[in-house]
Amino acid sequence: MIGKLQCVVLDCPDVLELARFYQALLGGTVNKPDRRWAVSDDFSTLHTGSGLVFAFQRVKDHRAPRWPDSTYPQQFHLDFDVPDLDRAQEQVLGFGATLLHIDTRGWRIFADPAGHPFCLLRG
């Protein structure tokens, strides 16, 4: 095991609207204070009672998925807490991931072998 799932992040045009939608569906607290994230007009969170956290990320010119039309694909990414970013990076690259970006705030963005983005965060 390399890390622990931190949250599922969904792209959307209105972060608070989508957070409140999922709150109505699952319960929980929208934008609960949490040291891991800074909420803003561009980023919102939902902490559910089960412990699962959803995050909502504003994307300019968002194109909604049109399942099953692959020209408008599903949009999300996973965030994983890891104890050692360098070691985890080495491991995921060995599994076939591609490094996309190293953020100065302490996370690294990769693509899985199919191109789906995911982040490793210092846990």
Cβ neighbour number for residue 93 with a 10 Å cutoff? 12
Q: Are 45 and 39 in contact (CB under 8 A)?
A: yes
- The domain defined by 4-122 folds into 2,3-Dihydroxybiphenyl 1,2-Dioxygenase; domain 1 (3.10.180)
Q: What is the pLDDT of residue 116?
A: 86
* Location of structure tokens 């803003």: 40
Q: How confident is the model at residue 83 (pLDDT cuts 50, 70, 90)?
A: very high
Q: Which helix (H) or strand (E) holds 92?
A: helix 85-94
Tokens, residue 91? 């491991």
Q: What is the pLDDT of residue 54?
A: 96
Tokens, residue 118? 């995911």
